[in-house]
Structure 1
């Protein structure tokens, strides 16, 4: 499949079809308060860091990649935050509001249209994101990864899952594997990268599940169990992600791999 990948700042007319592109995100993910507050503002605030892929045959949008610039190497930060995806978005918007110089780019999302998945397009979007950050003068790209297959093992702690590899050291998870083959290294686990709290009625609406028992509930596409409290009438989901770091001293193609998404990237 031949595609053209364009910065949104160069083709702002792609914004509407970009948002209209179908995706496979579970409904509850959109209820994270940080994401709800900031995510849709990324294309207008950081248009140079938004990439859109269009099919060369029909011009339809088939993938998008969001990233944001932020200041990491400043007092009070220095290390990648345990708050992961949500915290780095807050840092990016805070830095933009204050006019602070930035030194690092974080991936926020790579999404491929469902009918175009499985063709290596996510890896191509990652390569384009790396190149875009380099072209804009940055030397490091970081990403809070949402591992592709972690939802199949929600009870396994993320530190155990993230570092799982075969005898040759090849990572088990396809999305982690794609990043490491592109030159990234695992930095740490973002223990509370996304937090979604809601009433039991809301969780039933978002997931179609009963939420009628206390304790951890396994929810499709959730990376960890959702904690349900019947007496108080609410449930909370705390999603861990995996921080990886890409040094951008050189660029190159990313090996093809099954499509995956970081809330990131």
Structure 2
């Protein structure tokens, strides 16, 4: 695949097409209020931190650009906050900090990865690793010394009952992480630093959870939901369910 990877600032005409890829995010993930309110603002306000990949072979055949992968990142003032470690709040926290810093004119010192998504038709071809490398290169070119990433381990949903602290540090015989997406980060030079136990929170009524998942949500306690990294906590008598997703912090020194 002949990939062309650029920033959205360089190719603003792709601001619409980058949303048209065939994705497989679980429906409930799209209802995280922080992501729902801020993900589009990355495209609007920080296009130089949005990477888009097009398949040049396909473009030559069809005469138009089609996005096969996208990568979102945000700059933020992380070290100046005096935090001793990366936040337990993870994905939600860095998005909130980044846009607070942008609003208040704070000078950023770190770039955080937010998302790398590859079109279903382009998977299995090493595209995600190339997008991660491009994200690192983009941050380096803008004068940053590190990229941090609240990584969503992409095979954790297969064993939601496994404690995330155990899963995050599980390795293969060759010493690389058991999880495929963590493995890509470590191969690229990243170091697993800690678990973000409350990286993303999705809450909703039991009626909403039924709509999102097709499950009954009529029994109190943990409910294993397809695509969820950990069980959703259900309170049917009170009419709500809450999902608190853990991610894994990986630090990339540039």
> Does the Cα contact within 8 Å between 1:226 and 1:236 map onto a contact in 2?
yes
Is the partner of 1:23 in helix, strand or coil? coil
Is the partner of 1:24 in helix, strand or coil? coil
1-side partners of 2:13 and 2:217: how far apart?
Answer: 42
Residue ranges of structure 1 left out of the alignment (5+ in a row): 249-265
TM-score w.r.t. length of structure 1: 0.92
Select 1:90's aligned residue among 96, 106, 121.
Answer: 96
1-side partners of 2:37 and 2:163: how far apart?
Answer: 29
**Displacement, 1:45?**
1.3
Summarize deviations over 1:168-207 as a string: whole Å, max 9, x none: 3221111111111111101110011010000011001111
Aligned to 1:50: 50
Select 1:242's aligned residue among 239, 248, 254.
Answer: 248
2-side partners of 1:145 and 1:81: how far apart?
Answer: 13
**Displacement, 1:80?**
1.0
Summarize deviations over 1:147-170 as a string: whole Å, max 9, x none: 010000101111100000124322
Aligned to 1:137: 143
Is the partner of 1:74 in helix, strand or coil? helix
Select 2:188's aligned residue among 165, 182, 187.
Answer: 182
Aligned to 1:211: 217
Q: Which has the higher helix share?
A: 2
Residues 1:33 and 2:33 aligned together: yes
Task: Report the aligned-residue RMSD.
Answer: 0.9
Select 1:149's aligned residue among 148, 151, 155.
Answer: 155
2-side partners of 1:223 and 1:61: how far apart?
Answer: 28
Is the partner of 2:121 in helix, strand or coil? helix
Aligned to 1:21: 21
- Structure 1 ranges of 4+ moved more than 2 A: 75-79
> Does the Cα contact within 8 Å between 1:72 and 1:79 map onto a contact in 2?
no
**Displacement, 1:39?**
1.0
Select 2:79's aligned residue among 57, 73, 85.
Answer: 73
> Does the Cα contact within 8 Å between 1:72 and 1:78 map onto a contact in 2?
no
**Displacement, 1:77?**
2.9
Select 1:117's aligned residue among 109, 120, 123.
Answer: 123
Aligned to 1:7: 7
Residues 1:63 and 2:63 aligned together: no
Residue ranges of structure 2 left out of the alignment (5+ in a row): 60-64
2-side partners of 1:152 and 1:20: how far apart?
Answer: 27
Q: Report how many residues are paired.
A: 248
Select 1:159's aligned residue among 165, 175, 199.
Answer: 165
2-side partners of 1:9 and 1:168: how far apart?
Answer: 40
TM-score w.r.t. length of structure 2: 0.96
- Structure 1 residues 239, 104: closer, same or farther in 2, change over 3 A? same
Q: Which has the higher contact order (CA 8 A, sep 6+)?
A: 1
**Displacement, 1:239?**
0.1
